[in-house]
Structure 1
Amino acid sequence: MTFYIVNLFVMMFYSTSIKMTKFKNRNALILFFLVTHFTIISGFRAVSVGTDTFNYNTIFSSTSLSSVEHIIQNSRFVGYELLMKLIGTFPNGNYQIFLLLIAFLTNFLFLVTIYRVCSDLIYQAGYLYYILYYFISTMNITRQMFAVSLCFCSIYYLIKKKYLKYFLLVLCAFLIHSTAVTAFIFPILYKVRWNYFKYALLVVMTILIGRGSSLLMGIFSTFVRGYSIYENAMIYQNEGNRIYLTLFLTGILFICIFFSLQLKNNFSQSVYFFQAVIIISVVMGIIFAKDSLIIRAQQYFEITIILYFPLFYRELKDVVVGDYKKYTSILRIAYIIFFVMLLIPFLMQLYSNYGGIIPYKTGI
């Protein structure tokens, strides 16, 4: 537990130090150090770190004995196993090298997307990426988080209206983890001009679709091999802590939605899009907290929090500075309090060893 707390302070120290310098490309330098930092921690971990890491080590060994044709015909995660096969064919190719590659790709995709969307806020977004347990999840549900990182990266191309690149990335994510199919809804959400009624309707629709998850799972598992294991599967580990965090974020989200709709001419379309995505996430997280399939799908929506909150703060601050200068200090204090309060669920999850990442050991 101490290891991850120390890493948080190390990350904050060098990010703050770089931010205070006069380098022309300070944000790019922070990006470089964050990617390097997270890649080293995740990529050099032992197979005992993360509940799924050991299982994929076994799969990695079996793929070296399988032909490409056999993998394509029989694998339920073709893209991931083909990547394993590729690494395994290199001289001295082993599972540690594979972990290092996936760690780099996953963290790079997350962080470079943050940099592209809001480079001036990479410090805050990087903090959220760590404190909200997403980075630690990359050491546990590694395959799914790699797929999530691809979908997360696709959002940048959606915002830029480069739809071909968007769909190609989501398709790649689908070949890694089939739950990535949920990300195909993002273009629809981005096109909508959101208001109170449409957000409320989105809540109702999410509940109704979630209630039919068993039926959807049956249809899904018919077309995608191996996913019948999630039918009626339940999640209990650390459920309480995740619900508390979801409720806290829901309260903050409602406040943000109120301000964004009251001052609707001052916010970008991206802010309203992220609010819609996070609404879906919090409904899933509260009502379907025990449903394994829903929680798997929720990751693709929830991860946008690390972009949304810094982006919302920046755009709201621009409004406050321009029209309500006396509230600038209050806004800044509220933002700091929000970040500090997120330490509570982070520490609770570490204490519960959520994801099986304690004790940390290297595989070198």
Structure 2
Amino acid sequence: MSGEYGILFGVLGLYIILGIIINFSFENKAARLFQSLSMIVILGGLSAARAVSVGADTQLYNNLYSWDFEAGNWQNILSSKYPLYSLYTYCLHFISSNPQIIIVMNSLIIVTSVAITIYSYSENVFLSNILYVTLYFFFNSMNISRQFLAIGILLVATVYLNKNKIWLFWILYIGACLVHSTALVGIVFFVIHVIHWNKTRFILSGALGIALLIFYKRILNLFIVLFPAYSMYSIGTSDTNVETLSSQSNGGTLLVTIFYLLFICIATLCKVRFQDENREKRFAFLTVVMIIAVMFGIVFYKNILMTRVISYLSIFSIVYIPEVIDLFILNIDTTSVNRWYIRFLVVCGVIAITCVPLYVQLNKNLSDVIPYVSFVAR
């Protein structure tokens, strides 16, 4: 058993130690940059170096890579269910015909996209990077890589959206949809951005959310009609044969969602807000995204398709949780306690708690990443 986990825990341990050294060696801005670069190099490298046996769907992506080139012509690419992804894999063949390149490129693009997003949203890059690993996302990306490519593209799209570069958002949004059709849910980000949030609009959005929950079956059926390839996921309960988190650990998913809800409640109770107007606006955006993720996550935790769709929203937890911690610290009276000490304890507590879902994911091998084997060693 130790051999199966050895490489993973060795690399992740090295990554944590390096992160701690960076935090204590550099000023905040430089530390955040080096934390992001270390994430790309170490986590991106760990994912890129995996063999085809690591990740339940990795072999499928390798097969698609070969097929896309053999059947590669403009008609087939344009008629593909995922035309941009087909074009991307076709172009990669001009670099190398070895299917390992699709694993390498997918991994680097996904991790780089997440790193860019974390750097843009989070003041505590180190904690956000750790949460990306402990809250299911990193190892899931080794399984459903094509969807995580779309998630990564949408994450970067929201960075531009919050900078009011709307045209870049739409370009990336369309690109994400042409990689994976579930990225259509990204339209929610634009709607959230254009609304100037106040209590009345929060109440109205809650009413709209309830309406969507009531009519979700009709909406889901419409999606299945438009994209019949996803009908296998619409069953969405544990009696399916699909190897996903929702089919193997429904309770675990629900508990993580409730964990997110705890931070939403903390943020709501905080009276002191961020003084930086842009940061406060980003935080409001993240809060609404997480409210939607939690609302749908609680109701649809047994539905596989909805679980995969919700991941476009719930992945923002990796930047939302550190921001809530910062907001919580701002609300502490400095005359009675040391803020740095409290922050340190809270961050350590959050890391310890989120190691539980990481243990569950690896122990149950939910994404089929155990045993981890590198293609270099073969």
State the TM-score, normalizing by the size of structure 1.
0.90
Distance 2:53 2:75 in 1: 29
Query: For the residues of structure 2 that align with 1:36 and 1:331, how far apart are their CA atoms?
Result: 27
Compared with structure 1, are the counterparts of its residues 311 and 172 closer, same or farther at alpha carbon in structure 2 (3 Å cutoff)?
same
Please name the residue that 2:222 is paired with. 219
Match of 1:277 in 2: 289
**Cα distance in 1, alignment partners of residues 68 and 364 from structure 2:** 33
Residue 311 of structure 1 and its aligned partner are, at CA, apart by 2.2
Q: Which amino acid aligns with 1:97?
A: I
Does the CA-based 8 Å contact 1:190-1:270 persist in structure 2?
A: no
Q: CA deviation at 1:362?
A: 1.5
Q: Does 1:357 align with 2:362?
A: no
2:186 to 168, 183, 186: 183
Residue 18 (structure 1) aligned with residue 28 (structure 2): no
Counterpart in the other structure of 2:12: 8
CA separation in 2, counterparts of 1:265 and 1:57?
A: 46
Tell me the matched-pair count: 358
Q: Distance in 2 between matches of 1:271 and 1:140?
A: 30
* Residue 151 of structure 2 corresponds to residue 139 of structure 1: no
Q: How far 1:315 moved relative to its partner?
A: 4.0
Partner of 1:237: 248
- 1:115 paired residue number: 119
Q: Distance in 2 between matches of 1:346 and 1:154?
A: 28
- Aligned residue for 2:248, secondary structure, equals coil
- Aligned partner of 1:47 among 34, 44, 52: 52
Cα distance in 2, alignment partners of residues 16 and 330 from structure 1:
17
Aligned to 1:248: 259
Mapping 1:324-343, distance limit 5 Å: 324-327=334-337, 328=339, 329-343=341-355
Cα 1:272/1:116, change in 2 over 3 Å: closer
Question: Structure 2 counterpart of 1:274, which letter?
Answer: L
Once residues 88 and 265 of structure 1 are traced to their aligned partners in structure 2, the CA distance between those partners, rounded to angstroms, is 48
Contact 1:174 1:180 in 2 (8 A): yes
Worse-superposed segment, 195-204 or 132-141:
195-204
Q: Does 1:303 align with 2:308?
A: no
Q: For 2:30 and 2:334, locate their aligned partners in 1 and report how far apart those are by CA, in whole Å.
A: 31
1:32 corresponds, among 23, 32, 37, to 37
**Deviation of residue 10 (structure 1)?**
1.3
1:292 is the counterpart of 2:304: yes
Given the alignment of the two structures, is residue 124 of structure 1 paired with residue 127 of structure 2, yes or no?
yes
User: How large is the Cα RMSD of the aligned pairs?
Assistant: 2.3
Report the residue type matching 1:79 in the other structure.
L
Secondary structure at the residue paired with 2:143? coil
CA distance in 1, matches of 2:127, 2:155: 17
Query: Deviation string for 1:53-80 (max 9, x for gaps)?
Result: 1112221121121133243343211111
The farther-off stretch of 182-191 and 172-181 is: 182-191
Partner of 1:186, secondary structure, is: helix
Partner residue of 1:66 out of 67, 71, 83: 71
Q: Which one-letter code corresponds to 1:132 in the other structure?
A: L
Matches within 5 A, 1:158-177: 158-177=161-180
Tell me by how many angstroms 1:257 deviates.
Answer: 1.9
CA distance in 2, matches of 1:359, 1:349: 13
- Deviation digits for residues 311-348 of structure 1, max 9, x if unmatched? 2333443454xx64435244543343222211112112
Residue deviations 1:15-74 (CA, integer Å, cap 9, x gap): 111222247833322222210111211112111111111112221121121133243343
What fraction of aligned residue pairs are identical, expressed as a percent?
24
- Contact 1:51 1:356 (C-alpha < 8 Å) held by counterparts: yes
Alignment of 1:85 onto 2:96: no
**Structure 2 unpaired stretches of 5+:** 238-245
CA contact (8 A) 1:214 1:232 kept: no
Shift of 1:8: 2.6
Contact 1:285 1:298 in 2 (8 A): yes
Structure-2-length-normalised TM-score: 0.87
Q: 1:330 to 1:314 in 2, by over 3 A?
A: closer
